[in-house]
Amino acid sequence: MLDNLSKYQIVLGSASPRRKELLKGLGLDCEVRSVGDIDESYPKTLQSAEVPLFIATKKAEAFLSTLSPNELLITADTVVCIDHQVIGKPVDASEAFNMLKGLSGHWHEVITGVCVCTTKQTKKFSVVSKVKFSNLTDDEITYYINHYHPLDKAGSYGIQEWIGFIGVESIEGSFYNVMGLPVQRLYQELKTF
């Protein structure tokens, strides 16, 4: 499938092992590329749903000057929102604990913005999934933080990890979006290149 992409080298502008794994699940081999630290700040006037697409676009713009005509670039950014407040990645274990404590027993949104570019074409989209956590105990949160690596994850958790197994009570929308890449929607967009 996606034979239309055979003319392109797929470039993933993300160091996320989860995104690379999800692209592989679509049958796409990709080269992971980095341009160093990209400023992930955003105007505070943006609505929470607009933030990940704004950042995914900034990531794509950082690569565009080095993109060859035979390359297709995919960048993405994922945020967690609770009560319209954006929750990014925690800076330390204490912040991770507080984030997970805040998500415990509540619904939240996971929003991923994706930018797909060639030198001639750009497509941008966002996908929203809703996740409900059960009430987590302090011991469960501490166990997860001590045994997994939540510091590189929006909202301090990976749904595909232990915390997702024991904590996710309900999900509305794409599971893979919560992992960091809405592959069903991405597949549909890639068919148009």
Residues assigned a catalytic role: 77
Kind and range of the H or E run holding 162:
helix 162-167
Exposure of 40 in the CB half-sphere (CA atoms within 13 A): 18
Among 137, 136, 158, 155, which residue's Cα sits nearest to residue 147?
158
What DSSP character marks residue 96?
H
Q: Are 40 and 58 in contact (CB under 8 A)?
A: yes
Q: Are 186 and 74 in contact (CB under 8 A)?
A: yes
The gap between the terminal CA atoms of the chain, to the nearest Å, is 13
Residue 154 contacts residue 82 (beta carbons within 8 Å): no
- Cα(57)–Cα(55) distance, rounded to whole angstroms? 5
